[in-house]
Amino acid sequence: MTVLAEQHSIERRQAFSFEAWLMLFALAILLVGAVLWADKEPQVEKTDFTVTYLAAQILRQGHAAQLYDLEEQERVKATLYTHAEPLIFEHPPFEALLMEPIGRLPYRKAYFVWGLINCVAWLALPFLLRPYAPVPREAIGYLAAWIFAPLGVALYQGQPSILLLLAYVLAFSALRRGSDVMAGVWLALGLFKFQFVLPFALIMLLRRKWKFLGGFSITAAGLGVLSLVAVGWQGIVGYVRLLLTIAGNPSNASYGNAIGMATVQGFVYSVLGHFVSARSVSLIVAAISLWLVWFSARCWSREEEGHPGKSFDLMFAAAVVISLTLGMHMFTHDLSPLMLSMFLVVAHLPAAGRPLLRMALVAVLSLFWISPLYFALLKWHCVYLLFAPLLIFALSAIRLARTPSAAVPTEAEHDRCEMVGTSLEGR
């Protein structure tokens, strides 16, 4: 079979059938229906979107400089909600400014509009990623795999994590096309979750990807200007103080309890926090984080030198997962970008000749797609345990990237992926 014929065969398998379009339509109905169900009192006032709407209201009332004053947030919250949760707005100022137009609507209408935006992003993602995700082969199975718990939590909570996944997918696609500057622009647009974006940018810095960093820096500077316009210098200082307060109180439920985070900080704090000082925990977290960034950047650069272009997908997947685990503040919905990494790794599962590596990857991939797991870990207050599978997944992807043939899947390798593909189609 010629290269052209093989490519045509793969494209034909990936094309959406009539049944797949029906399933996509059903998925759209499911997502919109979920938003309509959530948009009822009192549960709609118990979502994270309350603090996003709260921030927009503070800006509209002309109190932007006090956006990160917790007393001001409580005062305005009391005028807006009856059943509000003890949450605070800790996202960057530019997010509040960009959400201000939606904040002009009544709360429930604003929640519905924001939910529809997230639905559109969710439905667009399968099309954007499909050229790089040949497994599952059948379009129906591929669409079924997009029913992923963190995405559902993000939709319900009104969090922008689905848009963060979109930013990562667009950055990945741009890098694959050789458009490094545009890739940097796309990723920088995800700085509303800067705790996950900055570690990835640091990896690219260590790899000396100057064009990517140029696009990233210009966009980040623009968002910085928007933040300054939104809250002024007083608001910026207040934001920095709030972030330091959050970092210094890992057990505060309102700020986000560390045991509920599958990050380096969450894991180290949960395991060692009762035995060593807070300073020691911070030093351990910093050491592990720096090593993971350095190791990821070093391996990525080395693989490019030895096998140019062959291991890009796997190293990108690993870098995304490592960036997520380094985030200071992470909840279930923040794992949405994991979808990109999972699809990229599934496309390059190792052959049976590497049973241990294959077993490790299949095990963690299956684990990630089990929706009840996330809610069980939340109920048992041990989400931090998910850090171990995430680290195994990232390190296994890096190990797999060292195989020269890993980045160019053949027909035989696609056949070997059927176990995972069939599993996903059965969902």
Q: Which amino acid is at 17?
A: S
Quote the pLDDT of residue 12: 44
CB 262 within 8 A of CB 384: yes
pLDDT in tens, 114-160: 999 999 999 999 999 999 999 999 999 999 999 999 999 999 999 99
Model pLDDT for residues 255-270, shown as the tens digit of each residue: 778 889 999 999 999 9
| Burial of 205 from C-beta contacts in 10 A (0-12 / 13-18 / 19+) | middle
- Count CB-CB contacts under 10 A for residue 369: 19
pLDDT at position 303, please?
77
pLDDT given for residue 118 in this prediction: 98
The Cα–Cα gap between 317 and 329 comes to 20
Tens digits of per-residue pLDDT, 39-85?
A: 999 999 999 999 999 999 999 999 999 999 999 999 999 999 998 88
Instruction: Note the pLDDT of residue 332.
Output: 95
Residue 15: the pLDDT is: 62
**List of the chain residues with pLDDT < 50:** 1-13, 406-427
pLDDT value for 253: 63
Return the pLDDT at 309. Answer: 54
What pLDDT score was predicted for residue 18?
Answer: 81
71 CB neighbour count, 10 Å cutoff: 8
pTM: 0.91
Query: What are the boundaries of each domain within the chain?
Result: 3-248+256-425
